[in-house]
Amino acid sequence: MIRDSSSSAPSLGKDLLGLEPLSADQIRLVLDTAEPFKEVSERAIKKVPTLRGKTIVNLFYEASTRTRIAFEFAEKRLSADTVNIAAAGSSVEKGENLVDTARNLEAMRIDMVVIRHPASGAAAFLADRIPSNVINAGDGWHEHPTQGLLDLLTIRDKLGRIEGVRVCICGDILHSRVARSNIWGLLKLGAEVAVCGPRSLLPRGIEELGVHVFKHPEEAIEWADVLNVLRLQLERMQAGYIPSLDEYYRVYGITQKRLERAPRDVLILHPGPMNRGVEIDSMVADGPHSAILQQVTNGIAIRMAVLYLLSGGTPERANVAQAEDVPAGVRR
């Protein structure tokens, strides 16, 4: 394997476009850097001056309350100046808009851009055209790297390791950027990965990425240490991929009843927002093995780590800087 970064000190490079292009060392770097940032959110004054004077644009061509808020909190807690742009982006206009947007952003001397876009490859498109750091907050069905990273961090927190852990991603893999980022991140860190869902929602050649395929959730539950349950977009029914939500729940829903037959405790993740009673039942989502709320908390730490590393920070300084920045007395 060829590593793209130098062996001595891995860095993230200019952009974070996906987990596929990252090395295991680069992924570990983000996870390790996130650790001290977790603590910032637990303080009374949840702010460090790390990115003071930096300007960040959150450019969302798709509605996403959750991801946008997580980025915004991360940016604010690092003291960056932020602007949110919500572009409606009709399918006809979106290509033209992206070229123009890139030119405008360049003219405004923005330091970082966080982009969410319905087209796969949109983040890379932007990154190729502007000198600012670009963070992919989800592009089409392609990747959602910060979600993948926060899922990895959550698994590591809960199970103490990632290598050798068996993770099954359940649901609509075909249309899921979360699934793709998870697959790459997990495989690179040595986990075993499987997917489970109706064949009509699994993309062609998925096995060639190095994942197992389970036809039934019972098999997945029998095998897995972790289930990452994806949101089922309600449009998939109209598009003819599945007959009904009710039938989906019956065959593929992750229910307490199904989990009771697991030979071991199974950690439950879900990227949210959940469709309770479709892909997951509430007893599972709110149960003792659910890490869904921790994912939300980790989401902020991961994004702080990514923003920090892309702006040129190093993991050692992340610790030191914060220790010095925190006024005495407010430390936890």
Partner 1 sequence: MRPVLVKGGRVIDPSRQLDQAADVLIQDGRIAAVESNVTAPEGAETIDASGMVVAPGLVDVHVHLREPGKEAAETVATGARAAAAGGFTSVCAMPNTDPITDNQAAIGFIVKQASAANGARVFPYGAISIGQRGEQLAEFAKLIEAGAIAFSDDGHPVLSSHLMRTALEYAQAFGIPVADHCEEPSLAKGGAMHDGVVSTRLGLKGIPAAAEEIMVARDVILSELTGGHVHLCHISTKGSVDIIRRGKENGVNVTAEVTPHHLTLTHDKCEGYNTNAKMNPPLREEADVVALREALKDGTLDMIATDHAPHHYEAKERDFDDAPFGIVGLETALGLGVKELVNGGVLSLPELMRRMSTEPAKAFHLDAGTLEPGKPADLVIFDPGATWTVEPTEFHSKSRNTPYAGHVLAGRVERTIVGGRTVFQRDS
276 DSSP assignment:
B
Active-site annotation holds for 261: no
Active site residue 65: no
Instruction: State which residue, 95 or 312, has the beta carbon closest to partner 1.
Output: 95
Contacts of 158-161 spanning 24+ positions with Cβ under 8 A: 158/267, 158/291, 158/294, 159/225, 159/226, 159/267
> Peptide bond before 217: cis, by omega within 30 degrees of 0?
no
255 is catalytic: no
> Is residue 317 among the annotated active site residues?
no
Closest CB 130 distance from partner 1, rounded Å: 14
CB of 205 to partner 1, least distance (A): 3
Q: Which residue out of 28, 54, 68, 94 is catalytically annotated?
A: 94
Question: In this structure, are residues 188 and 23 in contact, taking their beta carbons and an 8 Å threshold?
Answer: yes
User: Which among 28, 68, 77, 116 is annotated as catalytic?
Assistant: 116
Report the nearest approach of partner 1 to the CB of residue 52 (Å): 34
Instruction: Using the minimum distance from each CB to partner 1, give the nearer residue, 19 or 292.
Output: 19
DSSP letter, residue 231: P
Task: Pull the structure tokens for residue 176.
Answer: 């899921």
Q: Active-site residue among 144, 166, 177, 258?
A: 144
Q: How far is the CB of 142 from partner 1 (least distance, A)?
A: 3
Catalytic residue among 50, 67, 146, 297: 67
Q: Which residues pair with 263 in a beta bridge?
A: none
Render 313-327 in DSSP notation, one character per residue.
--HHHHHHHHHHHSP
Residues that bind partner 1 (CB under 8 A): 20, 91, 94-96, 98-99, 117, 119-122, 124-125, 139-143, 177, 180, 203-206, 208-209
- For 113, half-sphere exposure in the C-beta direction (CA atoms, 13 angstrom radius) is 31
Catalytic residues: 66-67, 94, 116, 144
